[in-house]
A and B are shown apart, each in its own frame.
Chain A
Amino acid sequence: RKEVEQDPGPFNVPEGATVAFNCTYSNSASQSFFWYRQDCRKEPKLLMSVYSSGNEDGRFTAQLNRASQYISLLIRDSKLSDSATYLCVVNMEGTALIFGKGTTLSVSS
């Protein structure tokens, strides 16, 4: 199975900072891309989908570069509540989702 790779971090940032996470995937046949958020000892939950045109949801912006097989997540004006692990997820039709190992973010006051 092809992999999804992320920088594990941890990223330690102060409140209000802007932080960016990167993810690369190895299978060019990948079709759908997502960011999931996982809090400590909780299940992963969908944060947002990622589209080639880029998409934004409040303070969160996701980008996809198919040519480079690269996905990013930008968080602006970080809040304490953003502290979590962020999972990059890739899907190919007919298969189960492939999860990266996650990037840990810690936002401090």
Chain B
Amino acid sequence: DVKVTQSSRYLVKRTGEKVFLECVQDMDHENMFWYRQDPGLGLRLIYFSYDVKMKEKGDIPEGYSVSREKKERFSLILESASTNQTSMYLCASSLDTSDSGNTIYFGEGSWLTVV
């Protein structure tokens, strides 16, 4: 059974803190993604990665960075958390991009509150 695991489900952080959100997938997928989801705004792509040590900016990369040192792990980093980064963060992975909708799997989400 495919699994995308987001280790931190619920976090409360203070403004200015550095925050790490970890994501691990067990299906040897090349592609990994980080989205955030907010009411009325839908899913917005932050960063994605097609290979180890490779990253591409999505639609809203400002205030975020990512790290992909190993194929199975894709980390999202908030260098200095701000209250407008309070959101639900979704990690996803897929096998390839040509038909990735059929093979994209999401983690259960990380609910981050910045106070």
**Is B106 among interface residues, defined by CB-CB distance under 8 A?**
yes
**Is B99 among interface residues, defined by CB-CB distance under 8 A?**
yes
In the complex the two chains form, is A43's CB within 8 Å of B41's CB? no
**Count of interface residues, chain B, beta-carbon cutoff 8 Å:** 23
In the complex the two chains form, is A1's CB within 8 Å of B59's CB? yes
List residues 18-63 of chain B with CB under 8 A from any CB of chain A. 31, 33, 35, 40-43, 45, 48, 58-59
The chain A residue sitting closest to B103, CB to CB, is A46
Contact A97 to B41, CB < 8 A, known contacts A43-B90, A43-B106, A43-B109: no
- How big is the A interface, by class? 20 to 34
**Is B98 among interface residues, defined by CB-CB distance under 8 A?**
yes
Question: Residues of A with Cβ closer than 8 Å to B?
Answer: 1, 8, 31-34, 41-46, 49, 87, 89, 91, 93-97, 99-102
If A41-B109, A49-B102, A96-B97 are given as contacts, then 8 extra A-B residue pairs at C-beta distance below 8 Å, sorted by A number, are: A44-B90, A46-B101, A49-B101, A91-B101, A93-B97, A96-B33, A97-B100, A102-B42
Question: Residues of B with Cβ closer than 8 Å to A?
Answer: 31, 33, 35, 40-43, 45, 48, 58-59, 90, 97-102, 104, 106-109
Give 4 closest A-B pairs by Cβ, nearest first.
A101-B42, A43-B106, A34-B101, A99-B43
